[in-house]
Structure 1
Amino acid sequence: HYAQIQQENGRYFLQKGKDITKDQTYFLWMLTQQNLASTLFPLGEMTKQTVREIAAANGFDTLSKKDESQEICFIPQNDYRHFLENNIENYSLRFPSGDFLNTAGDVVGKHSGYPNYTIGQRKGLGVALGYPAYVVAINPKLNQVILGKKEELFGDSCFIKNVNLMKYDTLPTDKPFTVRIRYRNEGVLARLQQEEEGIVCQFLTPIDAITPGQSAVFYENDDLVGGGVIQ
């Protein structure tokens, strides 16, 4: 992984890799102090180009020219819907068709099973509402997918559970942190309030597609402070 391990005030924490375009700290927020104390990331101080050059110099010419994978490595053709259908028993019975609703609660169409959709999705919905429609919410209990306009995707807060702190054992309250809610996302400044059950995250600028189940990872410059799961 392209990440670096640092130590300060008796605590281990991750720092973004030298090759920012390949930085993978977002996926590693759950590593504990014990994990970090016994882990090495030899690629963290290198760029991808340097790694390719080392591979070529050691006789791995074909490997050094291998195309990069941009998607989930174990999903053929990046078709996760087909993967779910083939790997979950009685998939169509467990996740049947249901209603598309607009944000006013009106039924506007039928979906093909809520796992086939993601917050922020626009393409492949199969409904015409007279305006560009996006998935703005999913209600698994009622088997409903809610559609809305682009501006209805934005929110300014979320609650983060299953929190793991790295750089600090308790979050400082006198400063905002940069919070990323997706991998390919630069992040937004937010105030974080630590509570017994998790962290209240208040974004200083509204952000789109806040998705329950996704990771929210907070940074101080290039240092990974901690992370958790959006509730």
Structure 2
Amino acid sequence: MAVAFSGGVDSVAAAWLLLQAGYQVFALTMLVTGEEEKAVEVAQRLGIAHWTVDLREPFRQEVILPFVRAYLSGLTPNPCVWCNHKLKFGLLLERARALGADFFATGHYARAFFDPARNRYLLARGRDRRKDQSYFLYLLTQSQLAYTLFPLGDRSKAENLELIRRLGLPTRPESQDVCFLRGRDYREMIRELAGDGLKPGPIVDVEGKVVGTHRGLAYYTVGQRRGLGRAWGRPYYILALDPRRNALVVGPEEFLYRSHCWVDELNFILCDRLALPVRAEVQVRYTAPAVPAVIRPEGERVRVDFAFPQKAVAPGQAAVFYQEDLVLGGGTITPYETYG
């Protein structure tokens, strides 16, 4: 049994629980940011073998650079989704299999299991809904799920913190931000890597009138209110980013609400593909509640019609579809027609 092992509370708790369940466990740590030393120490304390897998270049190519390109294109990306799909459950899982692991476990708060009635592996929310991370895992395929275990799926974060406290194990401090930013504002990284990609441009209102100048599209995201550099007598928000014109579209809050959105780059878990419209709950960002919607297939994408308008639906973010606790599937919110 291989465990994706960062040395943080969740991966350490996952490894300990598997050891207690009688598995032969070894740890695999992705080297991506150069701050993985703590994992070696904790693995030694647990008495398990440890390998570090150098994924710095794949991480740069598959996560960091697409993150920068997305922002320069007026999108709001979700790098954790890419990292899980391409690296953790891609390259790291492949390494685990090459080292002889029958299964691959992570410290995600989610559940995975085989459903004989559907003859499919399914993905479900973690029992601790406050920490549920199934949103970041919707791209998992049947072949990936077949080897995956989530030991923390039925546990709460509080239980795992208490477990680590009782064991007296050292753990790596947990980051609440995108790991490769290391506490920096994402705009700093974009400034470093974008070169000439950051260009000022017009700020326009919903009628197309130029009302100001922005510093570069990558500095902004849909729903943002601060940082526009001027006041209009009432609160104005960023409604859309238009890379074709290098324009930032702003307007009153009521224009932020969307009755529908389009989603592409799809992956389905409950089925191979969607043939007919279905009712589901849709989560348009990790911190947003799932809301009722109808999902209608349209070629290689789907149209999501919300039961009631949703605020600040940001192109580039993941839209994940749920039926009760099961992940139906998900995809990427596409850019929509701008104003003016």
The question of a shared fold, defined as TM-score above 0.5 by the shorter chain, is answered with yes
TM-score where L is the length of structure 1: 0.91
Once the two structures are superposed, the pairs formed by residues 52-67 of structure 1 within 5 Å of their partners are: 52-60=161-169, 62-63=170-171, 66=173
Once the two structures are superposed, the pairs formed by residues 1-231 of structure 1 within 5 Å of their partners are: 1-8=108-115, 9-60=118-169, 62-63=170-171, 66=173, 68-88=174-194, 90=195, 93-171=196-274, 173=276, 175-231=278-334
SS at match of 1:20: coil
Q: CA deviation at 1:155?
A: 0.9
- Which whole-Å deviations, capped at 9, do the CAs of 1:62-103 have from their partners, x for residues lacking one? 539x5x533222213340001111233x2xx22211110011
Measured in 2, the distance between the counterparts of 1:148 and 1:7 equals 48
SS at match of 2:162: helix
Query: 2:193 is aligned with what amino acid?
Result: N
User: Do the aligned residues in 2 keep the contact of 1:178 with 1:220 (CA within 8 Å)?
Assistant: yes
SS at match of 2:148: coil
Measured in 2, the distance between the counterparts of 1:43 and 1:87 equals 37
TM-score where L is the length of structure 2: 0.63
- Calculate the aligned-residue CA RMSD, in Å: 1.7
Q: CA deviation at 1:56?
A: 2.1
Measured in 2, the distance between the counterparts of 1:80 and 1:30 equals 24
SS at match of 2:149: coil
Measured in 1, the distance between the counterparts of 2:180 and 2:277 equals 42
SS at match of 2:150: coil
Query: 2:171 is aligned with what amino acid?
Result: L
SS at match of 1:118: coil
Measured in 1, the distance between the counterparts of 2:289 and 2:275 equals 22
> Any unmatched runs of 5+ in structure 2?
1-107, 335-340
Measured in 2, the distance between the counterparts of 1:108 and 1:174 equals 41
SS at match of 1:132: coil
- Comparing both structures, which one devotes a greater share of its residues to helix? 2
SS at match of 1:142: coil
> Any unmatched runs of 5+ in structure 1?
none
Percent identity reads 39
SS at match of 1:156: strand
Measured in 2, the distance between the counterparts of 1:116 and 1:12 equals 40
